[in-house]
Amino acid sequence: MKLDPTKMKDWQIAEAAEENMKPVRQLAEELGLEQDELLPMGRLLGKVDYIKALDRLADEPDAKYIDVTAITPTPLGEGKTTTSMGLVEGLGKLGKRVVGAIRQPSGGPTFNIKGSAAGGGLAQCIPLTPFSIRLTGDIDCITNAHNLAMVALTSRMQHERNYDDAKLAQRGLKRLDIDPERVQMKWVIDFCAQALRNITVGKGGKMDGYEMESGFAITVSSEVMAILAVAKDLKDMRERMGKIVVAYDKRGNEVTTADLEVDGAMTAWMADALNPNLLQTVEGQPVFVHAGPFANIAIGQSSIIADRIGVKLSDYHVTESGFGADIGFEKFWNLKCRWSGVTPNCIVIVATIRALKMHGGGPAVKPGLPLAEEYIKENLELVEKGCENLIAHIETVKKSGVRPVVCINSFYTDTKAEIALVRKIAEQNGALAAVSEHWLKGGDGAIELAEAVIQACDEKNSFKFLYDLKTPLRKRIELIAREVYGADGVTYTDEALEKAKAFEADPMAGKLGTCMVKTHLSLSHDPDLKGRPKGWELPIRDIMVYKGAGFIVPVAGAIKLMPGTGSNPAFRRIDVDVKTGKVQGLF
C-alpha cells in the first residue's frame, strides 16, 4: 500500500505502516543488541536492559551526537519530532547506522489540543497507539511513585496530629512537625485538568486525613520524571529519590522523602522504568522513547540512559529537546550534557516558513478557522521580519560552541523565494541550512538535511557551558535571561529574592543546576510577544528546589504546572474500531 500524506491522516499512515513493522526482536538484533539485553513487551515493543547493554558496550566509541530543537513554537507548528524522525530516516537512506531518542508524550496534550508527539506523515515513530497511550507504563509508574510521597506526607501529618510523641514512638515514628503552609509538592495526574489546580484535601473527621489546601500538577512536571531523565543508573536514582523535598517543618528545615521513609518504595515503583523503550520509525530505524515532555516546566529531554546506549550502538545518534532553543536546547546544553558527559556534534534548529511569518507579525491563528492569506501566499516581508526569531536561536546555539544546522521544514505553500530568503539569512548568521521534505517523502525527502548534519558533525567545535556550577544563582539567572532570552535584566518578587539569597548561602546549592520555568510561546515571559522582543525584563516570581533531580527551579511569569483542557480537545475525535480493536483518530 502506497502511503500518501496528502490523502491520509497521520494515524492512517501509522496504521498502514504497522502492517509491515519489524518485530522488536529483529529490530533489536539489527541494532546490535544481544538477546538477553532485550526485554520484549509483546511482538512490536520492548525495553532494553540498560545495565547489560552499557556494561557490554562500555569500550565502544561514541557516535556523532545530534540534538534537534526549534524556533519559538507557534500554533502553526514547527515539526520538531517529525524532523527528528525524518533525519533518522534520511541518515538511514545514506547508509548510516542511526538511532533516534525522543520523549514519551503526555496524556495531557495527547487528549487535548496538541495531540500525540510521534511525528507526522512519513516521518513518524510507530506503533502509534502504544506510543501515544500507556506505552510500557513509565508515566503510570511516575504518577504512582510521586503520589506515594503525597500519601506518606498527608498520612504522617494526620498521625502527628492525632498522637502524642509517646504513641508515635510506639509506632517507630519521630515527630517531623510539618508546616502545612509550606508543603512543596502537589498530587499529579497525566491529564490537563484545570479543575484540580487548587483543592482542599482531608475534609471529614480526624481519621480522614489532614485538612489543608493542595492541588494537582501534570505528571510530566513531577520531579520524579526529571529524575528518570537524568539518572545514570538505579543507584543514582535511589540516591536522588531520597533527596526530594516534600515540605518544610515549622522551623524551616527540609522534610524529604527519606525523612518520610518512602524513598525506597518510590524507587521500587520506578526500577523497571529506567529501561528505555524500543520502537521504530515508519522506515524501520530504531528509536528509543524514554522520559517526558514539557520543557517549559520540566527538563523536557529524552533520558541520559537512552542517549548513552544510543551513542554506543550507532554512527549517528539523534536526540530531541522540548520547544524552542531558548528552553529545550538551553536545558540540554547546561543540564543534560553536564550530567551525562556526552556533548553534541551538531544542533538542528527546525523552522517553518509559516511559523516565521507569524513571528514576523502575521495574523493570529484560530483553531477551526481557515488560515489567513498571508500564510498560504508568498510574503517575503513577513518571512524576513520573522527570521529575527530564528537568528536569536542561531545565536544561542553558537554560544555553546556548536555550529547549528537550520532545517527548513518544507510545506506545500512555501515558495522558492521564501525558502531562499531563509537559507540566505541562516547562512549569513553562521548556520548551515537545508530544506527537508520528510513529512511528504520520508527519508528520501531528508537527504539534504542529513548531508548538512553530516557536514556539521565533521567540523570541530568548542562546546562550553554558559555557566559553571560555582556561578551564584542570581548571576546564572541573569546570564540565561540576557544571553538566551534577550532580556535587559531580571526582577524578583520579595519571596523569590529571599529564596535566591538563601540558596546562594547554602553550600550545597553549588552542586545544583538551574532549570528555568518560562512560557514556550515567546523568547520572553509573555506568551503574546512574538518574534524577538526588545526592552523587557524577566520577572522571577518564585524559586523552587528539586534537590533529587539536582535543580534549582526559578519560575518566570504566570506559568502553571497544570495545563488546562481546551474547548475542542482531541479526545472528541479518538475512538476504537469495535471489530478490530484498533484505536483511530490519534494525531
> Which of 70, 226, 291, 295 is an active site residue?
295
Contact residues for 244 (Cβ-Cβ < 8 A; gap 6+):
149, 185, 223, 224, 256, 257, 263, 546, 547, 548
The yes-or-no answer on residue 240 being catalytic is: no
> Which of 103, 357, 441, 476 is an active site residue?
103
pLDDT, residue 1, reads 62
In whole angstroms, give the CA distance from residue 553 to residue 515: 5
Judged by DSSP in three states, 573 sits in helix
- In terms of Cα–Cα distance, which of 508, 496, 540 is closest to 254? 508
pLDDT, residue 82, reads 96
The yes-or-no answer on residue 111 being catalytic is: no
> Which of 47, 64, 96, 114 is an active site residue?
114
The yes-or-no answer on residue 63 being catalytic is: no
DSSP assignment of 166-205 equals HHHHHTT-----EEEEEE---EEESS--GGGSSEEE--SS
DSSP for residue 517: B
The yes-or-no answer on residue 80 being catalytic is: yes
In whole angstroms, give the CA distance from residue 347 to residue 67: 5
With contact defined as beta carbons under 8 Å apart, do 144 and 118 qualify? Answer: no
Instruction: Locate 116 and state its grid cell.
Output: 500525540
pLDDT, residue 292, reads 86
In whole angstroms, give the CA distance from residue 389 to residue 420: 17
H or E segment and range at residue 489:
strand 489-492
Complete domains list, the chain, with CATH: 138-265 (3.30.1510.10), 473-556 (3.10.410.10)
- In terms of Cα–Cα distance, which of 471, 473, 466, 467 is closest to 553? 473
The yes-or-no answer on residue 534 being catalytic is: no
pLDDT, residue 52, reads 98
The yes-or-no answer on residue 398 being catalytic is: no
What's phi and psi for 526, nearest 5 deg? -100, 110
The yes-or-no answer on residue 411 being catalytic is: yes
10-residue block means of pLDDT along the chain (587 residues)? 87 91 97 97 96 97 98 89 97 98 90 84 94 94 98 97 94 95 96 95 93 95 95 97 97 97 98 98 98 80 97 98 94 96 97 96 84 94 98 98 97 95 98 97 98 97 95 97 98 96 86 92 94 97 93 88 88 91 85
> Which of 69, 72, 82, 154 is an active site residue?
82
> Which of 216, 333, 411, 551 is an active site residue?
411
Sign of the torsion formed by the C-alpha atoms of 247, 252, 256 and 262? negative
462-519 residue pLDDT tens: 999 999 999 999 999 999 999 999 999 999 999 999 999 999 998 877 789 999 999 9
> Which of 323, 329, 333, 339 is an active site residue?
323
List strand residue ranges (DSSP E) for 237-336, in order.
Answer: 245-249, 254-256, 277-281, 286-289, 316-320
> Which of 80, 331, 518, 532 is an active site residue?
80
> Which of 339, 439, 503, 536 is an active site residue?
439
The yes-or-no answer on residue 103 being catalytic is: yes
Contact residues for 498 (Cβ-Cβ < 8 A; gap 6+):
none
